[in-house]
Amino acid sequence: MLKATNRDPRHSKSPRRVHIQFPHPIIDRACKRDLEAAIAEPRRCAAMRSMSWPAFLKNFPQGHLVVAVAVDVGADEIGSRRLRGLRDLLHRVIGRMASSKGGFALTVSRAAGFPEILCGFEMQGDADALVALGNAEPTDRYPGFATQRVFDLDTAMEAALGAGLLSDGDIDQR
């Protein structure tokens, strides 16, 4: 039987003390202590966590930005199914890049006059992974970020990213 107790009301979701009662007397105290410590330790997700764009800007004002310019989508198609599909594709690709425990956020912007998908990262290594996939180039159009890079998300890049999802991350370098 596993019983968790918490004496601190500020941490109602994470118990401070875990009691384990084993029905069989063979399990010794050392194993019991190790198991209790493993259960009581806070769990961390291996994949990056997604957050809203305003939450990202609030929590990481000096984050790392990678911009995907949707070159095959017209300026009048900001809320289109095609642009949402490109954003969702990038979200799946970034979510599969479980190289870090950092956060990321995506948003669609039309501030430049053409549709762009802004990808913000907490960790520079995560941003660099997307930069490598998209062959992004440095830019200085977006003040306030620690690093800024931009790449064209055209039909060929979309196909390569989609194929990489289907083949467990192996993306054709064209």
Domain that holds residue 81: 49-166
Q: How many domains would you assign to the chain?
A: 2
**104, exposed or middle or buried, with CB in 10 Å at 0-12, 13-18, 19+?**
buried
Residue found by looking up tokens 């384990």 in the block: 20
> Does the model's pTM come out above 0.85?
no
Looking at the fold, whether 127 and 56 belong to one and the same domain comes out as yes
Residue 5 pLDDT: 54
Instruction: Render pLDDT for 116-169 as a digit per residue (tens, 0 to 9).
Output: 999 999 999 999 989 988 889 999 998 899 999 999 988 888 888 888 777 665
Task: Give me the pLDDT at residue 34, please.
Answer: 52
> Element (H or E) spanning 109, and its range?
strand 103-109
Residue 172 has pLDDT above 60, yes or no: no
Q: Are residues 96 and 123 in the same domain?
A: yes
Residue 66 and residue 151: Cα distance in Å, rounded? 8
For residue 95, the SS3 value is: helix
Taking 60 as the threshold, does the pLDDT of residue 16 lie above it?
A: no
Q: Are 18 and 2 in contact (CB under 8 A)?
A: yes
CB contact at 8 A, 161 and 86 = no
Tens digit of each residue's pLDDT (9 = 90 or more) over 19-42: 555 555 554 555 455 545 444 443
